[in-house]
Amino acid sequence: MAVEPTALSTRILLLLVWVHHDLSFLVTLCGSITILYVDCVERPRGEDQYHMNQQEEESIRAEVLSLVRGEKPEPQRLIALLQRVQRHFGYLPRTAMIELAQFLHISPARVYGVASFYNQFRFSPPGKYPIKVCLGTACHIKGGEAVLKVWENKLGISEGQTTPDRLCSLDRVACIGCCALAPVNVVGDRIEPCVTPIRVEGLLLAMGVSPQRSTPEERAHASADREG
Ligand code: FES
């Protein structure tokens, strides 16, 4: 009987966890896979976008060291320190996570594994216009997912990402406390009530952002077509 590749990988993963009898092994493994994915898929896509020079990396390292000053290097403080770093930078720069790993004497894969487990953490800098799509129960029932899809298509990014020009970033959030106005989006610091897919383009125009940006894949196809 044929086994689906995803089912097979899940079984291998469970077998490895069973062999190691250790959940932290799974976290580290997931972290390593995520780092590999970011390096192989996400990073090349946004390489110029978030490229830091040595001076910027040095400055991030110094800022992280000052953020953890007075802390004991205890791995159980990881989530609290990740939250502190994200509050300071607005996201978790890769260099900051590596510095944090060194400070806590744990592997960068473990830091990445923990950070990527929680959707409160983001890995790209927030845009000038942060867009948050509420997907709490009320907003979900009233079509929040469809609205999120339209934002993704119009901006050419997925949730958790920032456009290459850093104008817009897109995130899903849980209930923001105004369910009567569902589905709700937060654009910048403005709450937008009753957002339908059709309203998304108007909201973009109000921000001065031209909609219908193409996705990286569409741009690659378009340039291949031009050259062909
Ligand atoms: S579920 Fe969206 S505001 Fe409550």
Q: What does the alpha-carbon distance between residue 198 and residue 93 come to, in Å, rounded to a whole number?
A: 34
Domain ranges of the chain: 5-117, 129-227
Q: Check pLDDT > 60 for residue 137.
A: yes
The CA 202 to ligand 1 mean position distance, Å, reads 22
User: What percent of the chain has a predicted confidence (pLDDT) above 70?
Assistant: 70
**Is the pLDDT at 45 greater than 50, yes or no?**
no
Mean of pLDDT values over 101-122: 93
Q: How far apart are CA 82 and CA 15, in angstroms?
A: 30
Q: Distance between CA 77 and CA 82 in Å, rounded?
A: 9
Amino acid found at 82: L
pTM metric for this prediction: 0.64
Residue 165 in tokens: 């020009």
For ligand 1, atom 1, the nearest C-alpha belongs to: 136
The Cα–Cα gap between 77 and 191 comes to 34
Cα torsion angle, 29, 30, 35, 39, sign = positive
* Å from CA of 215 to ligand 1 middle: 29
Phi, psi angles (nearest 5°) of residue 49: -55, -50
State the closest ligand 1 atom to the C-alpha of 182, by its place in the atom list counted from 1.
2
Mean pLDDT of 208-220: 62
Cα 120 to ligand 1 centre (Å) = 17
**Residues lining ligand 1, Cβ inside 6 A:** 134, 136-139, 175-179, 182, 184
Pick the CATH number of 129-227 from 3.40.30.10, 3.40.50.150, 3.20.20.70, 3.30.70.1520: 3.40.30.10
For 71, 112, 119, 153, 190, the CA distances from 64, given in Å and listed in that order, are 12, 16, 21, 35, 31
User: Which phi-psi region, left, alpha or beta, contains residue 40 (left: φ > 0; alpha: ψ -120 to 50)?
Assistant: alpha
Q: How far is the CA of 183 from the centre of ligand 1 (A)?
A: 7
Residue 15 has a pLDDT of 60
Nearest one of 181, 157, 186, 153 to 169, comparing CA atoms: 157
